[in-house]
């Protein structure tokens, strides 16, 4: 099959969050299965076309001024023009597959002007990104409308978890017959790296034997970094007074969380690294003792798979449904006290139960969450169009 993927980000163009590795790695696995895959995405100062790991990158240039909706309108216009041109050059496409609300306009132009149905994958919702609440703004309303429109006009919908399916259906009333649940994935070994944990810690002024809890991801309200900061005093006040917390990621809550840490007199135990390159992320994922995912809303949780790939246990809120409590991680409620309890439980078991949780997660990475399994299930969805 010749497959057109539409996404505002990828690992080889603009990269924003977890959508980038999903689109890129799914496309690469589909190519390995013998399909011809083209990713239509933003240029982000890359050249207009590349073939990387068997995937064709059709990077689109457009006017990026204005608000996010104006930018996405311009992006979709550029994608449509590029799609028409690429179709003439490479041949007709068998499958159109869009990711999240950003390309909905171009997906519908292709459907209604060219007569081609499409598949839509939801990775998050505007409601969820705002911490499970509706924001009274025109931008939020317009984004939500495009999310609804994608679900309404698509022929098939892919959603990454049962819990997220309920969220999307509650918001947009998508019928069951349209929906397939296919989880996010990871290439086993992607996050593996041999590191001297003590040296990694020492480079950041942390004692080589001090336990480290790692947060990675966008520093947004949805992801709950502030709840983790508020949990830290309850960790340091007990037997785990020497623990350190490393935050990797950018977002509007980073300055707030840094100020909050200082106000709580825990600034010396917190390290806010901001956006970090992949090698630094790998260093810390392998050097840490566990990761924490304190999300208020989490459609899936790719950082959980990355942690498991490095054989690390995960402490997560009950918003993260892929964690099996006490088997491959520890689940807490969505509040600082409970998060602190989960971290203390995992820290207290570093010499016993906690490492086995990471090992159990690693087994899942190699089976249930491998890209080969996910790509084959995605092809099954394509066959329903």
Lookup result for tokens 């505002």: 8
Give the whole-angstrom CA distance, residue 255 versus residue 242: 24
Same structural domain, 148 and 290: no
3-state DSSP assignment of residue 348: helix
Lookup result for tokens 């034997």: 209
**What average pLDDT does range 300-329 have in this prediction?**
94
pLDDT at 135: 80
Give the bridge partners for 329, in sequence order.
Answer: 314, 325
Same structural domain, 141 and 211: no
pLDDT over 90 (residue 15): no
Give the bridge partners for 181, in sequence order.
Answer: 159
DSSP string of 282-342, one letter each residue: HHHHHHSSEEEE--S--SS-HHHHHHHHTT--EEEETT-TT--BTTTEEEE-SSHHHHHHH
Q: Look at residue 192 and tell me if it is in a domain.
A: no
The mean of the pLDDT values for the chain is 95
pLDDT at 169: 97
3-state DSSP assignment of residue 231: helix
pLDDT digits (tens, 9 = 90+) for 234-265: 999 988 999 999 999 999 999 999 999 999 99
The alpha helices in 34-118, defined as continuous H runs, are 68-90, 104-114
Degrees (nearest 5) of the Cα angle 258, 129, 125?
Answer: 165
pLDDT at 328: 96
Q: Which two tokens stand for residue 103?
A: 């390309």
Neighbours of 209 (CB within 10 A): 9
pTM for this model (two decimals): 0.85
Same structural domain, 315 and 206: yes
Position with higher pLDDT, 128 vs 348 = 348
Same structural domain, 78 and 121: yes
Q: Is 136 exposed, middle or buried (0-12, 13-18, 19+ CB in 10 A)?
A: exposed
Same structural domain, 250 and 156: no
Q: How many domains does the chain have?
A: 2
Q: Look at residue 190 and tell me if it is in a domain.
A: no
pLDDT over 90 (residue 17): no
Name, in order, each residue with C-beta under 8 angstroms of 236's C-beta and a sequence gap of 6 or more: 243, 266, 269
Q: Which domain holds residue 83?
A: 2-185+370-382
Q: Look at residue 283 and tell me if it is in a domain.
A: yes
Q: Look at residue 266 and tell me if it is in a domain.
A: yes
Burial 261-296 (b: 16+ CB within 10 A, else e): beeeebeebbbbbeebeeeebbbbbbbbbbbbbbbb
CATH number at residue 121: 3.40.50.2000
> How many residues are present in the chain?
385
Same structural domain, 321 and 355: yes
Same structural domain, 274 and 299: yes
3-state DSSP assignment of residue 137: coil
Q: Are strands 290-293 and 49-52 parallel, antiparallel or unpaired?
A: unpaired
Same structural domain, 341 and 377: no
pLDDT at 177: 97
pLDDT at 238: 82
Same structural domain, 105 and 139: yes
Neighbours of 255 (CB within 10 A): 11
Q: Look at residue 8 and tell me if it is in a domain.
A: yes
pLDDT at 129: 87
Percent of the chain exceeding pLDDT 70 equals 100
Q: Look at residue 306 and tell me if it is in a domain.
A: yes
Same structural domain, 27 and 146: yes
**What average pLDDT does range 199-228 have in this prediction?**
96
Q: Which CA distances in Å does 151 have to 51, 112, 113, 310, 370? A: 31, 15, 18, 35, 26
Percent of the chain exceeding pLDDT 90 equals 89
Name, in order, each residue with C-beta under 8 angstroms of 135's C-beta and a sequence gap of 6 or more: 126
Confidence grade of residue 163 (pLDDT, cut at 50, 70, 90): confident
Q: Look at residue 41 and tell me if it is in a domain.
A: yes
Distance of CA 13 to the CA centre of its chain: 16
Name, in order, each residue with C-beta under 8 angstroms of 75's C-beta and a sequence gap of 6 or more: 8, 42, 60, 62, 102, 103, 106
349: left (phi over 0), alpha (psi -120 to 50) or beta: alpha
Same structural domain, 149 and 218: no
pLDDT over 80 (residue 132): no
Q: Look at residue 191 and tell me if it is in a domain.
A: no
Same structural domain, 303 and 206: yes
Q: Among 6-15, 126-135, 200-209, 273-282, whose mean pLDDT is lowest?
A: 126-135
Q: Which two tokens stand for residue 139?
A: 């931008």
């Amino acid at each position: 099959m010749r497959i057109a993927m539409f996404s505002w980000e990828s690992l080889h163009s603009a990269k924003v969050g977890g959508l980038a590795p999903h689109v890129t790695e799914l496309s690469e696995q589909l190519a390995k299965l013998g399909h011809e895959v083209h990713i239509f995405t933003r240029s982000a100062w890359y050249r207009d076309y590349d073939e990387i790991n068997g995937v064709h990158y059709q990077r689109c240039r457009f006017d990026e001024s204005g608000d996010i909706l104006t930018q996405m309108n311009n992006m979709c216009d550029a994608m449509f023009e590029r799609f028409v041109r690429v179709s003439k050059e490479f041949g007709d496409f068998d499958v159109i597959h869009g990711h999240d609300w950003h390309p909905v306009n171009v997906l519908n132009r292709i459907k209604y002007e060219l007569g081609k149905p499409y598949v839509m994958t939801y990775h998050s919702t505007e409601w969820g990104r705002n911490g499970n609440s509706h924001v009274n703004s025109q931008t939020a309303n317009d984004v939500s409308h495009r999310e609804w429109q994608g679900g309404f006009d698509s022929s098939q919908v892919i959603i990454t978890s049962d819990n997220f399916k309920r969220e999307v259906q509650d918001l947009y009333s998508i019928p069951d017959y349209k929906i397939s649940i296919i989880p996010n994935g990871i290439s086993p070994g992607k996050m593996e790296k041999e590191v001297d944990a003590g040296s990694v810690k020492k480079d950041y002024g942390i004692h080589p034997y001090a336990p480290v809890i790692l947060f990675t991801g966008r520093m947004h309200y949805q992801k709950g970094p502030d709840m983790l900061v508020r949990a830290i005093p309850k960790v340091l006040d007990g037997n785990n007074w020497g623990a350190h917390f490393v935050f990797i990621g950018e977002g509007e809550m980073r300055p707030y969380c840094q100020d909050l840490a200082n106000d709580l007199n825990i600034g010396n135990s917190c390290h806010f690294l901001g956006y970090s390159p992949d090698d630094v992320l790998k260093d810390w994922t392998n050097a840490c003792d566990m990761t924490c995912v304190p999300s208020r809303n989490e459609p899936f949780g790719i950082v959980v798979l990355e942690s498991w790939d490095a054989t690390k246990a995960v402490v997560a809120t009950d918003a993260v449904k892929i964690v099996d409590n006490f088997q491959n991680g520890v689940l807490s409620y969505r509040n600082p006290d409970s998060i602190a309890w989960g971290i203390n439980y995992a820290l207290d078991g570093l010499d016993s139960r906690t490492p086995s949780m990471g090992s159990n997660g690693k087994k899942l990475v190699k089976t249930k969450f491998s890209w080969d399994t996910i790509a084959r299930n995605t092809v099954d969805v394509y066959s329903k169009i």
